Amino acid sequence: MSDEGELDLRSLSDEDLVQQIHDDLYDGLKEEVEEGVNILLERGWPPYKTLTEGLVEGMRIVGIDFRDGILFVPEVLLAANAMKAGMAILRPLLIATGAPRLGKMVIGTVKGDIHDIGKNLVAMMMEGAGFEVINIGINNPVEKYLEALDEHKPDIIGMSALLTTTMPYMKVVIDTMKEKGIREDYIVLVGGAPLNEEFAKAVGADAYCRDAAVAVETAKSFMARKHNVLAAG
């Protein structure tokens, strides 16, 4: 809708505004996406609903046209930028202040992979749920994960991969942890669009997390188990 520069987003109904945010995300219109997100929030939309229905759904549509060769990398990069700008508005709202710390997580995208939106979203939601999160970014070789574990001593290590070619690298990280005898010191959670539970099991992770909300729930239940074991011991 870039030819409708005069479009007043405030005049749209919620439903049309969400549709417009999808269109603006698709067109990589960062400022328009920011404005749309702000308007939904002003109308009382909860941040999580704004995130999932406005931004995540918009990016899902981008993904379909990327897959089908209708959109290309430069356009998808613009869409990703617009998405990140929308996420930046929601981040402080999703992050609880003063919540008791539930645990610590190191999270990063694996070597060879530069997708970071989903991983950042997981980091954001985990922080919102009261976890301390150390986000080590993208394209992480096993050494980077090990350094982060050593430095931050987290309870959980989270790995993200969006490519079928990079997801096997998770096994490299887990196998290296096994070789060093530290695998059982951590809860290993994995996620990313091409993964599934079977894959997570095969590479030796503790659990596959379908989305950010599942990541939070899974992390909480593993932390509760860890505390029970410690209390029993």
CB of 136 to ligand B1M, least distance (A): 12
List all residues 6 or more positions away from 13 whose beta carbon is below 8 Å from its beta carbon.
none
Q: Which is nearer to ligand B1M, 12 or 61 (CB)?
A: 61
Which of 36, 47, 58, 118: binder of ligand B1M (CB under 6 A)? 118
Position 162 contacts ligand B1M (CB under 6 A): yes
Which of 34, 41, 53, 63: binder of ligand B1M (CB under 6 A)? 63
Q: How far is it, in rounded angstroms, from Cα 207 to Cα 68? A: 31
Question: 194-209: string of b/e by CB count within 10 Å (b at 16+)?
Answer: ebeeebbeebbbbbbb
CB of 58 to ligand B1M, least distance (A): 9
The mark string for 78-117 relative to ligand B1M (x by CB under 6 A, - otherwise) is: --x--------------------------x----xxxxxx
> Positive or negative, the Cα torsion across 167, 171, 173, 174?
positive
Position 211 contacts ligand B1M (CB under 6 A): yes
Residue 71 is classified by DSSP as S
Position 61 contacts ligand B1M (CB under 6 A): no
CA torsion, ordered 117, 120, 169, 155, to nearest 10 deg: -160
Q: Are 207 and 222 in contact (CB under 8 A)?
A: yes
Q: Which positions lie near ligand B1M, rule CB under 6 A?
A: 56, 59-60, 62-63, 66-67, 73, 76-77, 80, 107, 112-119, 121-122, 158-160, 162-164, 189-194, 209, 211-212, 215
